């Protein structure tokens, strides 16, 4: 199916962000390698890598809500997490559709599957069962962190040496993938080629949480029956197979805010993005997603809630010992 206009804009945003993430990944790699004696020049540590520590961020959120304390170890991780949660509440799962790097990779693999003609439809009953997995994973993490762990235990975990270099451990995990880890990644990639958005649709607890929050969002795609010509183009454009043509309002935790349905609709006013009584364009919606997300990050940088309290001296001691540190 031909791309809609908004897809070109979204993909441009995703590609730009992917390039930035590759840059900070390389910068962080150089930072770690310096303390392991592999390079001679010390690069600065990019705090943005903490965005890939969702469990640590969830625990930081628990600490903040339970005690009012802000985690000084990975503050950027908490800031990014809050920015994502707030964007979901205000503009649905726009983060998933516009900014999430894993979502972008999943979308790219789906495009490959479509181009080579190998995409399959998941049987409806199995699709329902598999979608429950991400909610079960979300429930597991919420139970362990918010119900089973007292605030003091959360604080102690966040302060231990393992958490201090959990970003380093994450890097080492991907640099030294075990056979089992590589096999899992290959299976996920292949599954994502054959089944559209396999990871996001069935396994991502982050997306499950955002989907729940998005149900309370004041922004929604609404369909006006009196203008609809029942062409079903919106159904064909939806990456998550939602039956938009049967809805008065797209009220689903699976909607990622890509807005393909709105952009392909040939009838003016049949499908609109509504913020209360106001209609907004797809471009304005995308701008809102980015303004909320990056605006919160800019605020955190301005007021000193972005940089870690870990000193370079601590890193010089902990990074060479990273392989010996466990939970």
Q: Say if 110 falls within a structural domain.
A: yes
Whether the CA torsion 167, 171, 172, 174 is positive or negative: it is: positive
Hey, is 295 helix, strand or coil?
A: helix
Q: Cα angle at 52 between 33 and 149, to 5 degrees? A: 115
List the chain residues with pLDDT less than 70.
1-4, 326-327
Each residue of 175-224: pLDDT tens digit?
Answer: 999 999 999 999 999 999 999 999 999 999 999 999 999 999 999 999 99
- What pLDDT, on the 0 to 100 scale, is given for residue 277? 85
What pLDDT is recorded for position 133? 96
Report pLDDT for 54. Answer: 93
Q: How far is 8 from 11, CA to CA, in rounded Å?
A: 5
pTM for this one? 0.93
DSSP annotation of 276 reads T
Q: Assess if residue 268 is contained within a domain.
A: no
| 245 part of a folded domain | no
In a domain, 234, yes or no: no
> Considering the domain boundaries, does residue 261 fall inside one?
no
Q: Let me know if residue 237 belongs to a domain.
A: no
The answer as to whether 243 is a domain residue is no
The answer to whether position 265 is within a domain reads no
**Could you tell me whether strands 271-275 and 278-280 are parallel, antiparallel, or unpaired per DSSP bridges?**
antiparallel
**Residue 32's domain spans which residues?**
5-217+281-302+318-322
Domain total in the chain: 1
């Amino acid at each position: 199916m031909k791309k809609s206009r908004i897809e070109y804009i979204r993909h441009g945003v995703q590609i730009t962000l992917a390039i930035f993430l590759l840059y900070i990944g390389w910068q962080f790699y150089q930072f770690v390698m310096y303390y392991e004696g592999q390079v001679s020049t010390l690069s600065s540590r990019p705090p943005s890598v903490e965005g890939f520590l969702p469990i640590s961020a969830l625990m930081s959120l628990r600490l903040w809500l339970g005690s009012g304390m802000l985690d000084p170890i990975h503050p950027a991780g908490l800031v990014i997490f809050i920015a994502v949660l707030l964007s979901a509440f205000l503009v649905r799962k726009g983060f998933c559709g516009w900014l999430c790097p894993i979502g972008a990779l999943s979308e790219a693999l789906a495009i490959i599957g479509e181009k080579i003609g190998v995409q399959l439809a998941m049987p409806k009953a199995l699709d329902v069962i598999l979608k429950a997995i991400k909610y079960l994973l979300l429930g597991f993490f919420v139970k362990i962190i918010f119900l089973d762990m007292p605030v003091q235990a959360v604080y102690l975990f966040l302060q231990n040496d393992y958490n201090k270099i959990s970003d380093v451990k994450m890097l080492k995990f991907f640099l030294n993938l075990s056979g089992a880890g590589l096999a899992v990644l290959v299976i996920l990639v292949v599954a994502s080629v054959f089944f559209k958005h396999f990871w996001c649709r069935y396994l991502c607890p982050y997306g499950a949480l955002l989907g729940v929050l998005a149900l309370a969002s004041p922004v929604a795609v609404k369909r006006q029956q009196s203008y609809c010509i029942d062409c079903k183009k919106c159904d064909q454009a939806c990456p998550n197979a939602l039956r938009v043509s049967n809805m008065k309002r797209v009220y689903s935790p699976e909607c990622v805010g890509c807005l393909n349905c709105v952009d392909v609709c040939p009838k003016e006013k049949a499908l609109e993005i509504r913020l209360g009584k106001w209609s907004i364009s797809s471009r304005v919606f995308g701008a809102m997603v980015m303004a909320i997300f990056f605006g919160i990050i800019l605020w955190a940088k301005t007021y000193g809630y972005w940089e870690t309290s870990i000193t370079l001296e601590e890193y010089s001691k902990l990074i060479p010992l990273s392989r010996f540190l466990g939970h």
